[in-house]
Structure 1
Amino acid sequence: MEAGEPREPREPGLGAETAAATATRWEEANAFCGNLTPKKKPKSPKPQNAVTIAVSSRALFRMDEEQRIYMEQGVEEYVRYQLQHENEPFSPGPAFPFVKALEAVNKQLRDLYPDSEDIFDIVLVTNNHAQVGVRLINSINHYDLFIERFCMTGGNSPICYLKAYHTNLYLSADAEKVREAIDQGIAAATIFSPSRDVAVSQSQLRVAFDGDAVLFSDESERIVKAHGLDRFFEHEKAHENKPLAQGPLKGFLEALGRLQKKFYSKGLRLECPIRTYLVTARSAASSGARALKTLRSWGLETDEALFLAGAPKGPLLEKIRPHIYFDDQMFHVAGAQEMGTVAAHVPYGWHRHPGGLRLPSRPQLHSSCAPASHDPQCSRHSSLPPSDMSSAGPFSPYRTALLHVCPHPWEGGTGTQPCRLGRHLTSPHWGPALCHDAG
């Protein structure tokens, strides 16, 4: 353009439109780049402020093949195998859905209370070698779990660290470590995989508890075993207004209730993502009032209370579909498993220390239940998933617990005593046949 030549006229408003379009594209680019930026994980709460759930590696993930290698080839080959496969995530274990549900509750709590540390805090507790931790970390990241606290003890028992983590609940596949934790006053349970997969809620954490020897002490169960059901009913009626002593998991129910109240205070009782259940073999009319009044005296409640009067618990648990169910009797744990429920055994009370009962050196089966006679009524056996029953070594070998359900009179201990429900337990690890009328 020569000097002095007139400029070509420009359409009115074109510059403003171009600027607006540029700004829009800039915002879109920023949004796109923002989506590419890794999301910042929430800050871990201080242990003393949180509800701390400690889980073992074999509770959170399935490690069956790795355990087989350890048993057959030893620790060195076990660690070598883990290092060779450290980029392959483990498959989910029995505690996995429970942990996912805890994290879903945490998300809602953070939305309601951004600055609160009163949330669930999951800690991975394992006696694995530290080098195995890389595969565990990779697995946790693969499933997008928020587990920042690890405790890897390289073969030593991790139980001594649980109190330092302010543990509210410890879940493990190792029954010996669970018993050790219970002895130290920590709520703990041995967790088992269900016999079949059943879908559980993705939006609501559901936790079911047995009553006696779980939430409550085993006081009432001892009366049943020593004096029978009639005396038990009389005792519960006479002591209806006297609260039962607390059981090993009372504190965990209390912690759940504390978090529930945070939703209630926002007017979200009906939409609360935590739901609790009391599932007990007690009869409502004969012995239910004392259980409910005990909870009330503690300032606690469960959302649902189900009194079965001795009926099997499995079918009801199938309808509830809890993420976890706690019971002190392996018979009920097995029944829950059969219906697809993740069940956890609480080794507490007279079942663990039967007192006057004579404990055999080997498992006892009723004579008419022996394979030779093959009574068709006694052919129902449930092999529980392998459970580590030994405290020796860093990766103790699996021991299989065998449940035998039998309709014959109880033959262990101090003589033959008929069982009201006709159900008994014999196990290599839990002593002689034990009656299951209460709990």
Structure 2
Amino acid sequence: MVRSQFDFESLLTSCCKASSFLIAVYWLEHHGKGKGRDAPLSFLVAIMSAIEVKDVLNAKDENGEDTDWAAAKVAFENLKSTKKPRPPKPQHAVTIAVSSRTLFNMVKERKIYEEEGLERYVTYQEQHEDEPLMPGVAFPFVKALMTVNARLRELYPDSEELFDIVLMTNNHAQVGIRLINSINYYDLTIERFCMTGGESPIGYLKAYMTNLYLSKDSEKVQEAIEEGIAAATMFTANNENPLSDTQLRVAFDGDAVLFSDESEIIVKKHGLDTFFEHEKEFENLPLAQGPLKCFLESLGKLQRKFYTKNERIDCPVRTYLVTARSAASSGARVLKTLRSWGLEVDEALFLAGAPKGPLLEKIRPHIFFDDQMFHITGAQELGTIAAHVPYGIGQKGKLIQQNPKGQ
């Protein structure tokens, strides 16, 4: 590692003489405890890029002290901005747990594991740990979460009500080096990992205070749902539609996703006519909550932080209800249920049984949640990243599996 040969004590003395004590305080706090001349050259470069020390020292005008103070403040702010943001405390955050195979494209590595075994898989990962993995299906979603965090930090610098992304994987610890290198390569803010060495990570989800779990393994997703955790199996779109890099867009189905499957049970057992009569009769009775209601609630909580700052129109989070229900025949109960929960969606699209794919192609969400695989397939075909929620009567006797084991 290259070390600086500059006289840092002299630099500190000069900074203090120039009344730039903020820089000196920062230096002593973060670099001056027992490090002396071994401090990295990058610190000096950061100072020099923000303030020309010589000019400050030679400032002779009557407002010299104010000039020094302003320059020191600029330098300090510059240093702060170059630091990687700290993850929020879990009790305040909206925690999104993603598996390694959703965050990164590990198809090649997975094939090695299945065909050549675990030892060869781990060895391959070690041999290629300096090669970043390609982005996976959840990568755009994670980047959008980070965009929202950046906006929140601008408005609320001290708040910890942010998204916190956790890598939740049954990979072995040695594979973690390549995962860490890939995360750093793409400048992702992911500091919390759970690597379980072949064991299921589902038991750790509650300990990590998870609000949403995304995986490619439907068995693990089913386990998470049964534990009362919002979860979905992610599917890659057949082609890539460009997605917004300034706004997180999340689309939800209604029944068996945001709401319980009680209405779907009536449709399957008694038909549409009985269903319409039932919804009209119980229009003012809220539906029971579904597995992803709490995630919509978390999104709404963050949205309101923007609304408080008069940022509703420019809010970087947008939510959509995309339901096969008919508006006139059965839509009122859905909207009244959301109102009774104190929740709202930005857009509500009632399709009356029409395909969802074309509408989703227009919305271009970073993720679309649905409990029916034919809607997932239709979304995939038109370039939408879709996530299957294995919940409700539609799942009886079914298990949608992309890979038999692992994450």
Which TM-score applies when normalising by structure 2?
Answer: 0.81
| Residue 413 (structure 1) aligns with | none
Q: Is the 8 A contact 1:83 1:132 kept in 2?
A: yes
| Residue 249 (structure 2) aligns with | 206
Find the partner of 2:182 among 102, 124, 139.
Answer: 139
- Larger Cα Rg: Structure 1 or Structure 2? 1
Are 1:47 and 2:90 an aligned pair? yes
| Residue 170 (structure 2) aligns with | 127
Residue identity in the other structure for 2:303: Q
Structure number with the higher helix fraction is: 2
Runs of 4+ aligned residues of structure 1 deviating over 6 Å after TM superposition are 30-38
Q: How far off is 1:389 after superposition? A: 3.8
**d(CA) in 2 for partners of 1:98, 1:276:** 13
Q: How far off is 1:35 after superposition? A: 7.4
Deviations 1:343-367 (A, max 9, x none): 000000012226xxxx8xxx9xxxx
**d(CA) in 2 for partners of 1:92, 1:41:** 21
Find the partner of 1:342 among 385, 392, 395.
Answer: 385
Change (3 A) 1:310 1:87: same
**d(CA) in 2 for partners of 1:306, 1:134:** 44
Change (3 A) 1:389 1:225: farther
| Residue 304 (structure 2) aligns with | 261
What is the identity percentage for the equivalent residue pairs of Structure 1 and Structure 2? Answer: 70
**d(CA) in 2 for partners of 1:70, 1:32:** 50
Are 1:96 and 2:111 an aligned pair? no
| Residue 387 (structure 1) aligns with | 402
Q: How far off is 1:36 after superposition? A: 9.6
| Residue 82 (structure 1) aligns with | 125
Structure 2 counterparts to residues 371-386 of structure 1, below 5 A: none
Q: Is the 8 A contact 1:176 1:388 kept in 2?
A: no
Measured on the aligned residues, the alpha-carbon RMSD in Å equals 2.7
**d(CA) in 1 for partners of 2:362, 2:375:** 16
Deviations 1:21-76 (A, max 9, x none): 9x99xx99x99999799921122211111000000000100000000001110000
Residue identity in the other structure for 2:139: F
**d(CA) in 2 for partners of 1:318, 1:346:** 20
Q: How far off is 1:387 after superposition? A: 1.5
Which TM-score applies when normalising by structure 1?
Answer: 0.75
Are 1:73 and 2:88 an aligned pair? no
Change (3 A) 1:238 1:38: closer
Are 1:328 and 2:328 an aligned pair? no
Structure 1 unmatched runs, 5+: 1-15, 364-383, 397-439
Q: Is the 8 A contact 1:59 1:191 kept in 2?
A: yes
**d(CA) in 1 for partners of 2:157, 2:77:** 22
| Residue 376 (structure 1) aligns with | none
Secondary structure at 2:396 match in 1? coil
**d(CA) in 2 for partners of 1:232, 1:38:** 56
Q: Is the 8 A contact 1:87 1:135 kept in 2?
A: yes
Secondary structure at 1:294 match in 2? helix
Deviations 1:184-232 (A, max 9, x none): 0000000011000110101000000000000000000010100111111
Are 1:271 and 2:314 an aligned pair? yes
